[in-house]
Amino acid sequence: MPTVAEVVLFVRAMPIAMAAQGIRERPLPRVLDRVRAMAGRAAVDDAVMAVRAAQRACSRWARWFGGIDTCLTRSLVAGALLARRREVVLHVGFRPTQQGAEAVDGHAWLVVDGVAVELTGLDERGGAPYESTLQLPMS
């Protein structure tokens, strides 16, 4: 059962999750600016709480409104929640696949105060590590 603080953070994360849906139509830097602007007072210090709120908000948005719930949307939401109080960098990377060059295996994650924060529970043993190809500061 979520605490009152978690429910409040979830409610604050929902508009950010809505803004993260813009990734379908706009370049990532523009969406990043939008989610940062949407965060407003919703800043939080605790990365675990931010990740949990992002996971809940993005999954509910996808279920209720037909949006997308991906590592990128979750990273955008959690990063926006943390960026006012922590040093946050959004990473986007790729790794080789067994299907050849035409198959893409991409992933997005956050580095908060120099520590990688995983939003999907991804099993890194499932293949080569992701190589960060793009880093965008969120702070």
pLDDT value at position 97? 73
How far apart CA 69 and CA 71 sit, in angstroms, is 7
How far apart CA 6 and CA 3 sit, in angstroms, is 5
Residue stretches of the chain with pLDDT short of 70: 100-102, 120-127
For residue 71, what are the domain limits?
A: 4-137
pLDDT value at position 98? 72
pLDDT value at position 50? 95
How many domains does the structure of the chain reveal?
A: 1
Model confidence over 19-57: pLDDT tens digits? 999 999 999 999 999 999 988 777 888 999 999 999 999
